[in-house]
């Protein structure tokens, strides 16, 4: 199932949700307002494989190197 990032314009809440393809309806925030889907400019690798990471735009040799680059660019990890 795909992981999507959503943001609430009313309260500013931002969260990631796993949304099945068949559940494409509106997503509702904890405050009761409609969530807007945010398109991120980075990718996440579930299984680490050394190589060029398109989302980061750099060659990554180790998990630690990837984590350092993610922190330096101010991105946040979706899952650990």
Quick one: pLDDT at residue 40? 63
Average confidence score pLDDT of the chain: 78
Please name which of 43, 40, 32, 29 lies closest in space to residue 79, comparing C-alpha atoms: 43
Q: What does residue 14 show for φ and ψ, rounded to 5 degrees?
A: -130, 135
Measured at the CA of 56, the angle between CA 50 and CA 62, to 5 degrees, comes to: 30
How far is C-alpha 80 from the chain's CA centre? 12
The pLDDT value given to residue 80: 44
**What is the three-class DSSP state of 18?**
strand
* Mean pLDDT score, 28-43: 80
């Amino acid at each position: 199932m795909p992981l999507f990032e959503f943001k609430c314009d009313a309260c500013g809440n931002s969260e990631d949700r796993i949304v099945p393809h068949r559940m494409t309806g509106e997503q509702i925030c904890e405050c009761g307002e409609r969530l807007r889907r945010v398109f991120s400019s980075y990718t996440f690798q579930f299984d680490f494989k050394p190589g060029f990471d398109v989302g980061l735009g750099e060659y990554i040799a180790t998990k630690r190197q990837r984590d350092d680059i993610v922190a330096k660019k101010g991105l946040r990890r979706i899952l650990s």
